[in-house]
């Protein structure tokens, strides 16, 4: 089947999509967007999180056909949305600077989820950060550096407004 989908602001057409294909597969294997990671493929880890019509979703649980004519924003799209193509979003920058990235497998999903949190709640408490990121698993960092990254990003975004 053919799937038309808006990805990071561009309308894309993908042909020969099979019925059981996930949005995650579509993004990674057909569109050359490997940022969203495939760790569990069961909706358990959050590493595949993308915005779907502005709401974070596990792309491994969304059938590619369900994304037809909808808007998808991936971790790659956060960077380009700030202006020039190689300029990171403040959340991405904070993850790099605070040491919140180790193996990096969880990072794209955490960044999308943290980005959404700060958009909705510019000054989140630690409890609110933990709750927002509860569905995103990290096996490397112990989460403290991730909390640091979200705090830093929220402060910077607030200062820039």
User: Under the rule (CB under 6 A), what is the footprint of ligand FES?
Assistant: 38-41, 43-48, 58, 60, 101-106, 138-141
Which residues have C-beta within 8 Å of that of residue 20, sequence separation ≥ 6?
A: 63
Q: Based on CB atoms, which residue is closest to ligand FES, 13 or 112?
A: 112
Least distance to ligand FES, CB of residue 159, Å: 27
Q: Based on CB atoms, which residue is closest to ligand FES, 27 or 138?
A: 138
Dist. CA 101–CA 138, nearest whole Å: 10
Least distance to ligand FES, CB of residue 111, Å: 11
Which residues have C-beta within 8 Å of that of residue 124, sequence separation ≥ 6?
A: 117, 118, 132, 150, 154
Dist. CA 62–CA 96, nearest whole Å: 29
Q: Based on CB atoms, which residue is closest to ligand FES, 7 or 101?
A: 101
Give the Cβ contact number of residue 6 at 10 Å.
15
Least distance to ligand FES, CB of residue 143, Å: 9
Q: Based on CB atoms, which residue is closest to ligand FES, 65 or 82?
A: 65
Least distance to ligand FES, CB of residue 69, Å: 22
């Amino acid at each position: 089947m053919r799937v038309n989908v808006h990805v990071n602001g561009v309308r894309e057409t993908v042909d020969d999509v099979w019925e059981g294909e996930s949005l995650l597969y579509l993004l990674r294997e057909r569109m050359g967007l490997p940022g969203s990671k495939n760790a569990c493929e069961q909706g358990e880890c959050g590493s595949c999180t993308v915005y779907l019509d502005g709401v974070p979703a596990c792309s491994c649980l969304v059938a590619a056909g369900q994304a037809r004519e909808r808007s998808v924003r991936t971790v790659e799209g956060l960077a380009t949305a700030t202006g020039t193509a190689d300029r990171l979003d403040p959340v991405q920058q904070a993850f790099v600077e605070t040491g919140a990235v180790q193996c990096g497998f969880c990072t794209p999903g955490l960044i999308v989820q943290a980005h959404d949190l700060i958009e909705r709640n510019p000054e989140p408490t630690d409890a609110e950060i933990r709750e927002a990121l509860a569905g995103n698993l990290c096996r490397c960092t112990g989460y403290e550096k991730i909390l640091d990254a979200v705090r830093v990003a929220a402060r910077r975004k607030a200062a820039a407004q």
